[in-house]
Amino acid sequence: MSQEPDTILRNSLDAVDRFRTRVTAGIVFLFVTVVFTLGWLMATATARTGGNAGQTKILLTSVTAQMIFVAVCAVVIAFQIARMTKTILRAIELSSRGRTQ
């Protein structure tokens, strides 16, 4: 009736891999959405105010740098969580194999 520990572990590791793929796709989608939204907002603001080209470039550069930094941090955290989950599941597998022998 109950599943084998190896089957449970394999299913858990597969779930972690699927989650990591979904998180990566979600972060990419969110990043692209934010880029288009900010670009649209900055274009609208520049057109309405007739702002200085130098100030607009500085603003665009700073916003881009901040977005890249936040995106990289989000990806690093997502991969770290997935890696630690795999490590914990493998430790559980090793400890359960040690008990059965």
pLDDT digits (tens, 9 = 90+) for 38-94: 778 777 777 776 667 777 777 778 888 888 888 888 888 888 888 888 888 777 777
Cβ atoms of 68 and 35 closer than 8 Å: no
Structural domain harbouring 58: 5-100
DSSP-based three-state secondary structure for 72: helix
Q: How many domains does the chain have?
A: 1
Cβ atoms of 6 and 93 closer than 8 Å: yes
* Rounded-to-integer distance, Cα 82 and Cα 88, Å: 10
Query: In this predicted model, what pLDDT tens digit does every residue of 14-51 receive, in sequence order?
Result: 777 788 788 888 878 888 888 888 778 777 777 776 66
State the pTM of this model: 0.56
